[in-house]
Amino acid sequence: MPIRFYQLDAFTDQLFGGNPAAVCPLTEWLPDETMQTIAAENNLAETAFYVPVDREQGLYHIRWFTPTVEVDLCGHATLASAYVVFFLEKTEEGETLSFDSRSGILKVRREEDWLILDFPTDSTHIAIQPPALETSLGGLKPIEVLKGKTDYLIVFENEQQIRDMQPDFRELATIPARGIIVTAPGNAPIDFVSRFFGPQSGIDEDPVTGSAHTTLIPYWAEKLGKTELTARQISKRGGFLKCKLLHERVEIGGQVKLYLTGEFEL
């Protein structure tokens, strides 16, 4: 059975930037173990699979897999999937579509070559720093340590600290969380920067993490006193995001570049 396959770079306008994701459009679901095996074979941070539910309503069901586990939410692979629907498969003629997911209904709106994700916010609380955290991040002292639904949010004083960070991923993997978000105020005109470390989920550093911004946007909106923000994830590949806080939801805007198209046989 041939399966169509796309690989795209999300949250960037430059090929080989942003976060690569694989997208496989399906007409019906494959067995879970097959989708996990495909994701492991792709060996990208995320492989997304989607199935049409109601094309007249622009509704699709989506699931995301790292090389090792299925996850509840993924921003960059959702952005890439929307790009496939709108511009490659061209199964959606309207300006919006909806993905039904483990995290509820996720809407995506297109504005020329930008795609805007509408995601639920993550709430955080002050947390006790796990003993392994400070040593695994090179002994740097954070300003704040918070915990969201699945991730730790570690706040530092300045952008250079985030850029220079060289984590001990083996030690980070012992911390009970999906991953570790490190963040600081950005250098103008960028409002905030971040990096995301997820050895617990099979990827040491994720290049650009849309889902992490469901935690980052509410935090920085409160700290900076504004609801529209610009963000950079300053991994080696890097990515740019336009962010907006909407009460209990956030908008995360990004661009996508197509890298390859093809198909494989099962």
Rounded Cα gap, residues 254 and 266, in angstroms: 33
ω into 189 cis (within 30 of 0): yes
How many other C-beta atoms lie within 10 A of the C-beta of residue 227?
A: 16
The backbone torsions φ and ψ at residue 84, rounded to the nearest 5 degrees and listed phi first, read -60, -45
Residue 128's Cα: distance from chain center in Å? 25
Rounded Cα gap, residues 141 and 158, in angstroms: 12
- Say whether 46 is catalytic: yes
The backbone torsions φ and ψ at residue 254, rounded to the nearest 5 degrees and listed phi first, read -160, 170
Give the three-state DSSP class for 173.
coil
Closest CA to 211 of 32, 66, 4: 66
How many other C-beta atoms lie within 10 A of the C-beta of residue 123?
A: 13
Rounded Cα gap, residues 64 and 222, in angstroms: 30
Closest CA to 42 of 15, 80, 13, 97: 80
Out of 33, 41, 46, 171, pick the active-site residue.
46
Q: Give the residue numbers marked as catalytic.
A: 46
